Amino acid sequence: QVQLRESGPGLVKPSETLSLTCTVSGDSISGYYWNWIRQPPGKGLEWIGYYFHNGYTIYNPSLKSRVTMSVDTSKNQFSLTLTSVTAADTAVYYCTRGGNAIVGATPFYWGQGALVSVSS
Amino acid sequence: DIQMSQSPSSLSASVGDRVTITCRASQGVSNYLAWFQQKPGEAPKSLIYAASSLQSGVPSKFSGSGSGTDFTLTISRLQPEDFATYYCLQYNSYPLTFGGGTKVEIK
């Protein structure tokens, strides 16, 4: 059974960098799409971007200039950094595992989510 | 970006009812459409992918249909555990985009 767990600071100051790590168990990082998705409190879902197993990344244009995603296959971890955060970046951040190259990026497995608040 | 419009935004239904939720894309997404269920305080859960394929472990009372721009999620025989918010997602084009959600409440 695939399990994902997000970890990282729950509070980030404005203009600083948000960093989250997703630890994957029960599956290998290789061969799948790995998405980050966020949800501001009381609002809908926003796709941030994905990393594909061969290092291919696609980011949401609305966040592209501030986002970096990477994978550490030795630790089976998937990471997100978001720079120059503002209050608008306050959200629950989910890491998700998508399908393979045939099925596509749609998230099949989700972490429990990590609430990150941006405040001084 | 492809805009995903869900309707209705909320609905009230009774246990045992059949419920249909619609998702419309601003341009064609082929069958790259997924549905998710989210309960308060929980992460979303995958229900349907490729418009009509049931995710492993999801009960058959959930079904999806459609292709191109118009899609539906149907829940037959609504049960108490089905009261939740449902989202559609297109993954045909970047950026991936979600519908605004449909909240299914108890009548």
- Mutating which of A34, A45, A57, A69 best tests the B interface, going by the most B Cβ atoms within 10 A? A45
Closest CA to A48 of B96, B28, B85, B12: B96
- Which of A62, A103, A105 comes nearest B96 by C-beta? A105
Amino acid, single-letter form, for residue B84: A
- Which of A35, A60, A112 comes nearest B43 by C-beta? A112
The CA distance from A17 to the nearest CA of chain B, in Å, is 23
The CA distance from A34 to the nearest CA of chain B, in Å, is 13
* Burial class of residue A82, CB neighbours in 10 A (0-12, 13-18, 19+): buried
**Residue range A86-120, pLDDT digits in tens:** 999 999 999 999 988 888 899 999 999 999 999 99
Residue whose entry in the numeric block shows the structure tokens 């997100």: A80
**Residue range B29-76, pLDDT digits in tens:** 999 999 999 999 999 999 999 999 999 999 999 999 999 999 999 999
**SS3 per-residue string spanning A36-72:** EEEECCCCCCEEEEEEECCCCEEECCCCHHHEEEEEE
Closest CA to B94 of A106, A68, A92: A106
